[in-house]
Chain A
Amino acid sequence: MVRVDGSGSSNSLISARGLSKTYSRGGEQIQVLQALNLDVDAGEFIAFMGPSGSGKTTLLNLLGGLDVPSAGSITVAGDEITHMSRSRLTQWRARHVGFVFQMYNLIPVLTAFQNVELPLLLTSLSKAQRRQHVETALGVVGLSDRIHHYPRQLSGGQEQRVTIARAIVSDPTFLLCDEPTGDLDRKSADEIMELILRLVKEYKKTVLMVTHDPVVAARADVTLHLEKGVLVEADRLQTVSSGGAR
């Protein structure tokens, strides 16, 4: 079960303790995350919400090992990642994290197949094995008939599905999605959500997703709100931010 009070059990998949992130801009210190706690179990599907600038992307980047916290620790599947060197962190990402960003996900000069194959080139898989994995992943996202298309020949929703195929092709420990539907129309967004739900239900994926869209967030198991640098569960939001902010 997801927890934000630092009381998670030692066998949670992802565990963040006292996570802080401070940016300095023009001599001024901006505290984005302030001693945040989070525990996520395997197979959970979590949505993060919060106003723009509240630190959702910052949190996701820290959890994905793209950035390092100012204080606190992150443990994923028993690995403490906060003190890894840059190059070890890169290797760790390749093994454990699948990323889906809002935009700029695909390399335009590579086909869907080649884009999905990118993470596999770093493994010792043979060409035939890579091909099999890529075809399976593209099959899961329903793009078996678009394998040799270039990104510009695909719709926005299809591009995002290729990205999801790339994120799952190496079977990572968890998926991080930063506004995966942010750039899409309602229908495409729904399709992407269906796909992510299927990944969670059928393939038992652990997914952490940032979204601005309450409809999208409602599909997740739990919605967490980022407020003043810490996470708050949605149903307790009223009590925390009492005073009628919402």
Chain B
Amino acid sequence: MKFLGLIRANLFRKKIRFILTIGSFAVALFLFGVLAVVRVAFSGGVEIAGADRLVVINRTSIIQPLPLAYADKIRRIPGVKELTYANWFGGVYQDERNFFPQFAMDVDNWRKVFPEFDIPEEQWQNYVKDRQGAIAGAATAKRFGWKVGDRIPIKGTFLGGVWEFNLDGIYHGTRQADDETQFWFQWKRFEEQVPAQYKGNVGWYTVKVDHPDDSLRISRAIDAEFANSPFETHTDTEKAFAAGWVKQFGNIQFLIMAIGGVVFFTLLLVTGNTMAIAVRERTGELAVLKAVGYSDRFVLLFVLFESLLIAMIGGALGLGLAKIFTLGGDPTRGLLPFFFLPGKAILAGLGVTLAVGAASGVIPAIGAMRLRVVDALRRV
């Protein structure tokens, strides 16, 4: 590209301005990246929730239990493919701040319902045989430096006592957004150790259906089955539950869009103004280019390209920094299982960068294109 020298020389014409403009883009896109991370942190669960999974909880409240006897009744409802269940344990490992979710789970059907979690078969088999066994998500294992074979003591909260577990395996999510912070142990052990008044209960059921389209009908059928019983149920898709959880924090999506919108609008004003000044101060030079034979279209593209280039350098810098920022992992140490900058957000960021770069360059570029040599040389 023989015009590269011309473009490069123009970029560095005013070094401070160049750096400040690039900096504006970098800061804005860094913020964009961080907002995207926050958005995923809150809504990541909604996006990855299985469309073909229903969650059945106690209608009164999620902390009220459901009878284990419901399992067979739910299985008999047409359209139900698999069913598994778990209890919330809520124990503390070493320190209250070391939060991660612990489930007493049903080993028989768990993996059929949650195929996204990948565990080496040998580890799984050891776990199934080991009543004291446990499986940890890769993120949690990494966080505490656990290795398979470690013995892990967890203090029960509402159940009391210290529960010791053998770490038999570590699971990985097969998708980037899969939650790798969970800690599983056998529901049978839980059942054996809890006081009599807690026995025969599960915290919730997760049901896999044959067809996602059938979800509504099956949800209604389940809830109808247990209507007017002492333990009425509330069934909804996993997605709806995840979305309900996010709603507790207010309209995060809107907040993020609002902040992002203001940031990019400001960026547009700043860079649009900068480009306009940059073009105005070289009116004479653009006229000379045209006089010696550069076409109007060339001058248009020349100005536009410069604007896009500045935007892309700054934008890539900002997104790169945002990515580096997330590589360290969740800064809240476990409260945000979805803490990463998704590839889609990076692409969206680059798209917005290009759009702002083009928008801020287009008016000066058209002005440069329309510039008449005779007027320009007379004006200066």
| Residues of chain A whose beta carbon lies under 8 Å from any beta carbon of chain B | 57, 61, 64, 66-67, 86-87, 90-91, 93-95, 99, 101, 103-110, 114, 118-119, 121-122, 127, 166
B293's partner among A94, A106, A108, A109 (CB-CB below 8 A) is A94
Complex interface: chain B residues within 8 A of A106 (CB): 288
For residue A116, give the distance in angstroms from its CB to the closest CB of chain B: 10
Pairwise interchain contact A109-B10, C-beta atoms closer than 8 A? yes
Q: Would you list 21 pairs from A and B whose C-beta atoms are within 8 A, ordered by A residue?
A: A67-B374, A87-B295, A87-B297, A90-B294, A90-B296, A93-B293, A99-B291, A101-B288, A101-B377, A103-B380, A104-B377, A107-B6, A107-B9, A107-B289, A108-B285, A109-B10, A110-B5, A114-B6, A119-B292, A122-B293, A166-B292
Contact B296 A61 (CB under 8 A): no
B9 with A109: CB separation less than 8 A: yes
Q: Is B249 an interface residue (CB 8 A)?
A: no
Task: Give the one of A57, A119, A122 with max B CB within 10 A.
Answer: A122
* Nearest chain A CB to B7 CB, angstrom units: 11
Which of B3, B284, B296, B377 has its CB near the most chain A CB atoms (within 10 A)? B377
Cα-based distance from A114 to B377 in the complex (angstroms): 21
Q: Are B374 and A122 in contact (CB under 8 A)?
A: no
CB <8 Å contact, A122 and B294: yes
Q: Judging by beta carbons under 8 Å apart, are A127 and B374 in contact?
A: no
B374 close to A66 (CB less than 8 A):
yes
Given contacts A94-B292, A104-B285, A119-B293, contact A109 B12 (CB under 8 A): yes
Q: Which residues of A contact B211 (CB under 8 A)?
A: none
Q: Any chain A CB within 8 A of the CB of B290? A: yes
Q: Say how far B53's CB is from chain A's closest CB, in angstroms.
A: 62
Complex: how many Å from CA A208 to CA B253? Answer: 68
Complexed CA–CA distance, A235 and B346 (Å): 75
Determine the distance from Cα of A103 to Cα of B378 in the docked complex, in whole angstroms. 11
Nearest-CB distance from A232 to chain B (Å)?
A: 24
Is B13 an interface position by the 8 A CB rule?
Answer: yes
CA distance A161 to B378 in the complex (A): 22
Q: Which chain B residues lie closer than 8 Å to A119 at the CB level?
A: 292-293
Chain A residues with CB under 8 A of B10: 109
Nearest A residue to B285 via CB reads A107
A64 to chain B, nearest CB (A): 8
B5→A114 contact, CB < 8 A: yes
CA distance A79 to B12 in the complex (A): 41
Which of A95, A103, A109, A121 has the most C-beta atoms of chain B within 10 angstroms of its own C-beta?
A: A109
> Chain B, 1-23, contact with A by CB distance < 8 Å: what is the 0/1 string?
01101100110110000000000
Residues of chain A contacted by B284 (CB below 8 angstroms) = 104
Residues of B within 8 A of A (CB): 2-3, 5-6, 9-10, 12-13, 284-285, 287-297, 372-374, 377-378, 380
The 3 A-B pairs at the shortest CB distance, nearest first, are namely: A94-B293, A104-B284, A109-B9
Chain B contacts of A114 at CB under 8 A?
5-6, 9
Are B373 and A91 in contact, with the CB atoms below 8 A? no
B373 touches A121 (CB 8 A): no
Contact across chains for A107 and B288 when beta carbons are under 8 A apart: yes
Max chain A C-beta neighbours (<10 A), residue from B285, B291, B297: B291
Are B9 and A93 in touch, CB under 8 angstroms? no
User: How far, in Å, is B15 (CB) from chain A's closest CB?
Assistant: 11
B9 contact set on A, CB distance < 8 A:
107, 109-110, 114
Residue of A nearest to B11 (CB): A109
Chain A residues with CB under 8 A of B380:
103-104
Known contacts being A104-B285, A105-B288, A107-B285, is A86 close to B293, with CB within 8 Å? Answer: no
- Please give the distance in Å from A102's CB to the nearest CB on chain B: 9
In angstroms, Cα B342 to Cα A8, docked, is 75
Is the Cβ of B296 less than 8 Å from the Cβ of A118? no
Bound CA span A122–B10, Å: 18
CB neighbours (8 Å) of A66 from chain B are 291, 373-374
The chain A residue sitting closest to B380, CB to CB, is A104
Beyond A66-B291, A104-B380, 12 additional contacts (C-beta under 8 Å) are: A66-B373, A67-B373, A90-B295, A94-B293, A99-B288, A99-B291, A104-B285, A105-B288, A114-B6, A119-B292, A122-B294, A166-B292
Instruction: Give the distance in Å from the alpha carbon of A108 to the alpha carbon of B285 in the complex.
Output: 9
Q: Are A93 and B377 in contact (CB under 8 A)?
A: no
Q: Hey, which chain A residues are within 8 Å of B292, CB to CB?
A: 93-94, 99, 118-119, 166
Q: Do residues A91 and B293 form an inter-chain contact, with CB atoms below 8 A?
A: yes
CB contacts (< 8 Å) of A166 on chain B: these are 292
- In the complex, the chain B residue whose C-beta lies closest to that of A92 is B293
Report yes or no: A110 in contact with B295, Cβ–Cβ below 8 A: no
Give bound CA distance, A119 to B277, whole Å: 26
Least CB distance, B289 to chain A, in whole angstroms: 7
Given contacts A104-B285, A105-B288, contact A110 B6 (CB under 8 A): yes
Q: Are A121 and B3 in contact (CB under 8 A)?
A: yes
- Verify A87–B5 contact, CB threshold 8 A: no
B374 pairs with A61, CB closer than 8 A: yes
User: Which residue of chain A lies nearest to B5 when distances are taken between CB atoms in the complex?
Assistant: A114
Residue ID in chain B nearest A178 by CB atoms: B377
How far is A118 from B293 in the complex, measured between Cα atoms in Å? 9
* B42 → A minimal CB distance (Å): 48
Give the chain A neighbours of B287 by CB distance below 8 A. 104
Chain B residues near A64: list those with CB within 8 A.
291
Q: How far is the CA of A187 from the CA of B379 in the complex (A)?
A: 29
> Chain A's nearest CB lies how many Å from the CB of B280?
14
Complex alpha-carbon distance, A119 and B294, angstroms: 8
